[in-house]
Homo-oligomer: A and B are copies of this chain.
């Protein structure tokens, strides 16, 4: 038996293990100092009440003959898809129910969607970036071109005619940079894709952090033409604290055709063959996220995290430190002061004031010289961390 040789080309990331080791060393040496972790990408606030109530109900149902649910539709129950359909309608995006596929999270779909594409396709990935885009394509053996995201383009690269690729990734609001594309900028991407017969894989996992009354696009389908060249992957992980509850969705428009094949039908075939749907209990919990009460409750949590981001942004602004994100994103991506390198600044923050960030270099070579802070901690810790930083930089 021959293994898939492409796995030999994967690089092991030591980013989080190195961060962990360095923090442990610091704590061992300084048992009295309180370390504040602003590096984590996981939420910390519990599931909201509506979700808890809905899941209790569903658990009860599963214990009765009448309420028991066995195999459901692989692509998700209509009760949840209808809620997501309405959620999109608020942004004037009209979706058919069959265009929405419920998943166990964005990470699964980011990887699995590649099943539909030839390995001969050339892939365009911004750098710095969420590592899964790169690794999943390496596993398949596709050729990757990196697009430089930097201070010059405010970490929002825009394509031009020299860009040649078949598959392009966009993550907006971006992980790790927090940068958000405008509609005008996304229109350039859509036009480029249509002209080049390319597909855009649009990662909208952080759309909920965009101010609801903002003009910034929450979905790529707000852009004309996108339904012919883009699919969108979304998640309840950050929206509703579902990182350990696992539910997301992917929108594959009916108008998405390549090589005389319809991608919506292909994805349906993929999912019905290789997936058996998300647990009924979890889908009932997800449904509650989109109820009126649920939306109120999750907004409180999102606003809590956004307030943390605001506090961090204020401190950085005060000290004239360049950063992206912090407004419509839980992430702050900052230029390390005094031209320090990512790891250098990481060590400096940890050793001087006991703050843990994530070195930007871990997200790609163009992330060097930057550091990512996240808003997922508590208000008290975030405030204290910024007071320490303020003092350090003053």
Binding site for B on A (CB under 8 A): 1-5, 7-8, 10, 42-47, 49, 52, 55-56, 59-60, 62-65, 67-72, 104-105, 107-108, 110-112, 115-121, 132, 135-136, 139, 166-167, 197-199, 241, 243-246, 258-259, 261, 263, 266, 269-270, 273-282
**Pair A273/B7 contact, Cβ less than 8 Å:** no
Q: Assess A104 versus B276: contact at CB under 8 Å? Given A4-B118, A263-B3.
A: yes
Chain B residues with CB below 8 A from A60, complex form: 52
**Pair A274/B136 contact, Cβ less than 8 Å:** yes
**Pair B2/A244 contact, Cβ less than 8 Å:** no
**Pair B261/A7 contact, Cβ less than 8 Å:** yes
**Pair B2/A258 contact, Cβ less than 8 Å:** yes
A258 to chain B, nearest CB (A): 5
Extra A-B contacts (17), CB below 8 Å, given A43-B70, A44-B65, A52-B63: A2-B117, A4-B119, A7-B261, A47-B63, A56-B56, A56-B59, A62-B245, A68-B241, A69-B244, A70-B241, A72-B244, A112-B274, A139-B270, A246-B277, A279-B282, A281-B282, A282-B282
6 closest pairs, A vs B, by CB?
Answer: A111-B274, A2-B118, A42-B70, A69-B244, A52-B63, A70-B243
Q: How far apart are the CA atoms of A236 and B187 in the complex, in Å?
A: 47
Chain B residue nearest to A165 in the complex (CB): B1
A17 to chain B, nearest CB (A): 12
A383 to chain B, nearest CB (A): 18
**Pair B118/A3 contact, Cβ less than 8 Å:** yes
Chain B residues with CB below 8 A from A8, complex form: 261
**Pair B276/A105 contact, Cβ less than 8 Å:** yes
Q: Assess A65 versus B46: contact at CB under 8 Å? Given A2-B121, A263-B3, A282-B279.
A: yes
Q: How far apart are the CA atoms of A59 and B53 in the complex, in Å?
A: 9
Chain B residue nearest to A59 in the complex (CB): B55
A262 to chain B, nearest CB (A): 10
A210 to chain B, nearest CB (A): 22
Chain B residues with CB below 8 A from A119, complex form: 4
**Pair B65/A1 contact, Cβ less than 8 Å:** no
Chain B residue nearest to A122 in the complex (CB): B1
Report which of B52, B70, B111, B112 forms a contact with A44, defined as CB distance below 8 A. B70
**Pair B107/A274 contact, Cβ less than 8 Å:** yes
Chain B residues with CB below 8 A from A198, complex form: 1
A4 to chain B, nearest CB (A): 5
**Pair A115/B52 contact, Cβ less than 8 Å:** no
**Pair B56/A68 contact, Cβ less than 8 Å:** no
Q: How far apart are the CA atoms of A119 and B108 in the complex, in Å?
A: 21
Report which of B1, B64, B117, B275 forms a contact with A117, defined as CB distance below 8 A. B1
**Pair B65/A45 contact, Cβ less than 8 Å:** yes
A335 to chain B, nearest CB (A): 28
Report which of B70, B104, B273 forms a contact with A111, defined as CB distance below 8 A. B273
Chain B residues with CB below 8 A from A118, complex form: 1-5
Chain B residue nearest to A266 in the complex (CB): B7
Q: How far apart are the CA atoms of A69 and B47 in the complex, in Å?
A: 9
Q: How far apart are the CA atoms of A365 and B31 in the complex, in Å?
A: 69
A41 to chain B, nearest CB (A): 8
A379 to chain B, nearest CB (A): 13
Chain B residue nearest to A112 in the complex (CB): B274
